[in-house]
Amino acid sequence: MRPALLVDVDGPLNPYAAKPQRRPAGYETHRFTTPRWEAAERHRLIQWGTPDRPVKPLRVWLNPGHGPALRALPFDLVWATTWEEEADAFVAPVLGLPELPHIAWASPRPRAADGVFWKTPQIVAWAQGRPFAWIDDEITEADRHWVGEHHSGPALLHRVDPRRGLVPADFAALSAWAASPGGPPAGGTACVIDRECGPDA
């Protein structure tokens, strides 16, 4: 079985933290009114006492080159994003990606202890020991430690800078990890960001 690549949208694919008026090179601007975004914004407008105001679409920067680059990696792609199935409806067509499976998050979001990202325990539960790499902008050492303690298979937790999104070095790190001698490293290794992760990592 090939390892899974768990893909977050906001940060890796949408560099939302870049300077507002300086769209990163290679990206295109899209404005989406997804059902979740519209519901959240409508709730905020009601709270602010302006329920009749129109909902402002969500600005999203996407690089169409990321779709082919992701598909070329030796992974099975899975959405690991709060967009959930909406990533297929809005993001995938722009990138030329097929419909992908997604992780359905528990609601309300459970709190994790000791600084662990709320997604992390749910990702490990979803993986059930399957090798995976995960790209997200909120990964920390606490998450790597937690995965190392609770996941029985190999894992690469790779943080992507939300100011720049995925860059060639990120794709190289993912490819190197998947193609390391003997396959991804065994034994629940949660590898360190921004360096290749081989069998001795």
Residue 135 scores a pLDDT above 90? yes
Domain chopping of the chain, boundaries: 4-21+64-191
33-52 pLDDT tens trace: 888 867 776 677 677 677 77
Question: DSSP character for 91?
Answer: I
User: Tens digits of per-residue pLDDT, 81-131?
Assistant: 999 999 999 999 999 999 999 999 988 877 777 899 999 999 999 999 999
Whole-number Å distance between alpha carbons of 167 and 174: 11
pLDDT greater than 50 at residue 192: no
> Band of the pLDDT at 197, cuts 50, 70, 90?
very low
Q: Architecture of 4-21+64-191 per CATH?
A: 3-Layer(aba) Sandwich (3.40)
Mean pLDDT rounded to a whole number for the chain: 86
Contact (Cβ atoms closer than 8 angstroms) between residue 84 and residue 104: yes
Give per-residue burial for 22-34: e unless 16+ CB within 10 Å, then b. Answer: eeeeebeeeebeb
3-state secondary structure of 135: strand
